[in-house]
Amino acid sequence: MSEPLIIADNIERMISADEIALRVATLAEEIIQKLPHDLMIVSLLRGSFMFTADLIRAMHIAGGGSVRPQIDFMTMASYVGTESSGNIEVVRDLKEDVEGRDVLIVDDILESGRTLAFAKNILNERKARSVTIAVLLEKPNKRKVDNINADFVGFTIPDKFVVGYGLDYANYYRELPFIGVVTIN
Ligand code: IMP
Ligand code: MG
């Protein structure tokens, strides 16, 4: 895949589009080897839209058509108010019933773990049969919530603010085909 010729000069490349594509393909293989093929995929918007779109196509290719996931979306947000209150709310809920389903949560990045802990808890309360987590990125040593881990991780990255491939800064840069670090000048 060709890289864009012109990029914003305050974004330093961290993971190229080719590296992402290769990793998404192997991640899809790991997922279909370990999980049932009739998954309910819960994609956490907005950051994971691009990863989810690529991952489910890679799962289809890796599974040779044996994989038949259903897809739904959920949007979470931190409460407006005191910063780092750590409270999460559901802004847009699922349309599908997850009771009895094997759910795979797909998110862009695992940092404090609050978002994923909250999402996992909701799905367990709704009696999902199993809840597994796949994230594209993970920042280690940033966890604020104990016992939340991703079962499938694309890349472990340094503790830097990254954008691209769905991840944003003020809702910009989601369109970048690579992951980069924003350097605030
Ligand atoms: P957590 O609840 O702290 O694990 O936060 C995860 C959410 O914070 C992600 O789903 C992202 O939306 C956002 N986030 C965390 N780190 C970054 C980053 O480096 N770039 C862009 N968004 C980030
Ligand atoms: Mg997010």
| pLDDT one-digit tens code per residue, 23-58 | 999 999 999 999 999 999 999 999 999 999 999 999
| Mean local confidence (pLDDT), 74-85 | 72
Q: Cα separation of 177 and 136, whole Å? A: 14
18-33 CB burial, b ≥16 within 10 A, e <16:
eebeebbbebbeebbe
Question: How many CB atoms within 10 Å of residue 60?
Answer: 16
The residues placing their C-beta within 5 Å of ligand 2, an ion, are 47
Q: Which amino acid is at 174?
A: R
CATH class of 18-157: alpha beta
Mutate to test the pocket of ligand 1, among 155, 167, 174 (most ligand atoms within 8 A of CB): 167
> Does residue 48 line the site of ligand 1, with CB under 6 A?
no
Q: Which atom of ligand 1 is nearest to the CA of 142?
A: 3
Taking alpha carbons only, the member of 58, 46, 41, 2 closest to residue 166 is 46
> Does residue 79 line the site of ligand 1, with CB under 6 A?
no
pLDDT at 84: 55
| Mean local confidence (pLDDT), 162-184 | 93
Residue 142 has pLDDT above 70, yes or no: yes
Residue 3 has pLDDT above 60, yes or no: no
